């Protein structure tokens, strides 16, 4: 009676791949473990040599702005200390519920002071000896959680659909027309005239579906606060051969600004330009910068027709991302004197 050896269920190439995956996982685990303990030992040595904790070293070696706040943010969120984790959770909760802003100043100041005090106790830092550290941490907390609060506020606005039965929404839409085209009154609420300022059809409400009321708020802010610039760009947009749809472009730029905010790309700008909490107007001003610079790029490119819109938009976003990767990035523009 012959006995047959059991055949392998897996083919040879699959067994090889499995062994390779296990090996790679083991190597990665060893490297991660080594990296963790090496970093831990390095931190202990630096603390012993300098007498400063990691947060102090970050605050003292870098000037206030994006580089410092980003490093502090990374440090507190990677901390294993329960006190620091509880601080992050508490401030996160405040920001994600839209309460870390200037309308809630007393609570924000109280919690930030408590957070800085708790870190000083946890890290054995004497505020009287290190007042610069206390000030730096206050600024970092205001920037970090002010940004998170702004994300909440902008997302809330975007989720509100434009409602033509809402009188406030309708008044804002009509004000947009009056501001951009004051010499030509609308003949009716639903009319082809809307295409003159860059909407797609007779009723603009359909164009706001993607960005909700945020798209209208941005357009209206630009038109009412930088009227001369907005009208000048509207004039460019109506060029017979190099034109683009003004309002639709504005809504696209709202999407770009919203995306940059949500993927944290705008942190460098806000951390470098605002040494406190940020608000809705700060986001609107970033939007105005985007509109102004997009128009400038469009003119430089001199596209044959509007079919090149996607290509120019991609180039515009690429330029933006490159600019925002710089630690000293600030999205600054100089509007005409009449608009200041």
Do 267 and 317 share a domain, yes or no?
Answer: yes
For the chain, residues with pLDDT lower than 70 are 1-20, 23, 27-51, 336-340
Do 276 and 259 share a domain, yes or no?
Answer: yes
Do 265 and 116 share a domain, yes or no?
Answer: no
Tell me the C-alpha to C-alpha distance, in Å, between residue 340 and each of 34, 49, 209, 227, 278: 56, 52, 32, 10, 20
Q: Which domain holds residue 222?
A: 167-339
- Tens of pLDDT, residues 175-193: 999 999 999 999 999 999 9
Do 185 and 327 share a domain, yes or no?
Answer: yes
pLDDT of residue 251: 97
Do 103 and 69 share a domain, yes or no?
Answer: yes
Tell me the C-alpha to C-alpha distance, in Å, between residue 311 and each of 109, 254, 287: 46, 18, 20
pLDDT of residue 241: 83
Task: Please provide the DSSP assignment of 168-225 as one string.
Answer: HHHHHHHHHHHHH-TTS--SSSS-GGGGGGT-SSS-GGGGGTTTHHHHHHHHHHHHHH
pLDDT of residue 37: 44
Residue 121 domain flag: yes
Write down the pTM of the prediction: 0.84
pLDDT of residue 38: 44
Residue 68 domain flag: yes
pLDDT of residue 103: 83
Do 200 and 126 share a domain, yes or no?
Answer: no
pLDDT of residue 102: 81
Do 279 and 328 share a domain, yes or no?
Answer: yes
Do 131 and 183 share a domain, yes or no?
Answer: no
Structural domains of the chain, count:
2
Do 119 and 171 share a domain, yes or no?
Answer: no
Do 206 and 80 share a domain, yes or no?
Answer: no
Q: Give the number of other Cβ atoms within 10 Å of residue 314's Cβ.
A: 10
Do 76 and 141 share a domain, yes or no?
Answer: yes
Nearest one of 164, 152, 251, 168 to 208, comparing CA atoms: 251
């Amino acid at each position: 009676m012959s006995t047959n050896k059991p055949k392998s269920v897996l083919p040879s190439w699959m067994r090889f791949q499995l062994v390779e995956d296990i090996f790679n996982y083991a190597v990665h685990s060893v490297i991660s473990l080594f990296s963790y303990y090496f970093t831990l030992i390095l931190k202990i040595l630096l603390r012993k040599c300098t007498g400063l904790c990691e947060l102090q070293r970050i605050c003292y070696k870098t000037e206030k702005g994006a580089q410092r706040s980003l490093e502090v943010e990374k440090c507190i969120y990677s901390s294993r200390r329960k006190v620091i984790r509880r601080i992050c959770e508490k401030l996160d909760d405040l920001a994600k519920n839209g309460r870390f802003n200037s309308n809630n100043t007393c609570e924000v100041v109280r919690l930030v002071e408590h957070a800085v005090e708790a870190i000083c106790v946890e890290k054995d830092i004497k505020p009287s000896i290190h007042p610069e550290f206390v000030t730096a941490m206050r600024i970092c907390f205001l920037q970090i959680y002010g940004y998170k609060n702004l994300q909440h506020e902008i997302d809330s606005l975007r989720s509100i659909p434009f409602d033509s039965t809402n009188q406030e929404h309708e008044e804002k839409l009509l004000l947009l027309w009056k501001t951009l085209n004051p010499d030509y009154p609308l003949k009716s609420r639903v009319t082809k005239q809307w295409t003159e300022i860059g909407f797609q059809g007779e009723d603009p409400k359909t164009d706001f579906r993607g960005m909700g009321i945020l798209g209208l708020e941005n357009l209206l802010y630009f038109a009412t606060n930088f009227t001369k610039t907005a009208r000048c760009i509207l004039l460019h947009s109506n060029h017979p051969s190099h034109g683009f749809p003004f309002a639709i472009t504005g809504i696209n730029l709202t999407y770009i600004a919203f995306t940059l905010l949500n993927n944290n790309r705008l942190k460098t700008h806000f951390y470098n330009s605002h040494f406190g909490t940020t608000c809705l107007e700060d986001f609107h001003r970033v939007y105005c910068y985007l509109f102004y610079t997009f128009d400038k790029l469009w003119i430089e490119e001199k596209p044959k027709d509007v079919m090149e819109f996607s290509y120019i938009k991609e180039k515009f976003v690429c330029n933006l991302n490159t600019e925002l990767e710089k630690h000293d990035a600030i999205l600054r523009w100089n509007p005409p004197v009449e608009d200041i």
